């Protein structure tokens, strides 16, 4: 069975700082990878996704993630955060080319101080 782990449970940083959230997965085959975000009081939204091709994917709001197959990683980055990036971030995967069921990591709560 597949699994996703996120290394940091809580991250606190100041505006304009750079952000990197770690995500590692365990699965023996092809995977589709996602980052979702949940802003305070709002529902989960898709930030970005990787299915195939260029391992560096760009998402909304200036976020990007890099798929490194050899490391089973899909880390999320943003060069300069804003206060509005305060949220909980979830890494997730679906297996193979037909899987629909998302498996989520435990989430990382990010607090950006103004």
Partner 1 sequence: GAGVSQSPSNKVTEKGKDVELRCDPISGHTALYWYRQSLGQGLEFLIYFQGNSAPDKSGLPSDRFSAERTGGSVSTLTIQRTQQEDSAVYLCASSFTGDRGFGYTFGSGTRLTVV
Binding site for partner 1 (CB under 8 A): 6, 9, 32, 34, 42-46, 49, 51, 90, 92, 94, 97-107
Rg of the chain over all Cα atoms, to the nearest angstrom: 14
> CB-wise, 19 or 89, nearer to partner 1?
89
| Least separation in angstroms between CB 33 and partner 1 | 9
> CB-wise, 51 or 83, nearer to partner 1?
51
| Least separation in angstroms between CB 93 and partner 1 | 8
> CB-wise, 17 or 102, nearer to partner 1?
102
């Amino acid at each position: 069975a597949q699994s996703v782990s996120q290394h940091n449970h809580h991250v606190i940083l100041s505006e304009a700082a750079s952000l990197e959230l770690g995500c590692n997965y365990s699965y023996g085959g092809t995977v589709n990878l996602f980052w979702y975000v949940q802003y305070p009081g709002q529902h989960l939204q898709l930030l970005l996704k990787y299915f195939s091709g260029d391992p560096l994917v760009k998402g909304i709001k200036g976020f990007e993630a890099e798929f490194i197959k050899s490391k089973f990683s899909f880390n999320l980055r943003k060069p300069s955060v804003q206060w509005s990036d305060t949220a909980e971030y979830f890494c997730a995967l679906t297996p193979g080319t037909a899987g629909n069921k998302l498996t989520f990591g435990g989430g990382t709560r990010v607090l950006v101080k103004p």
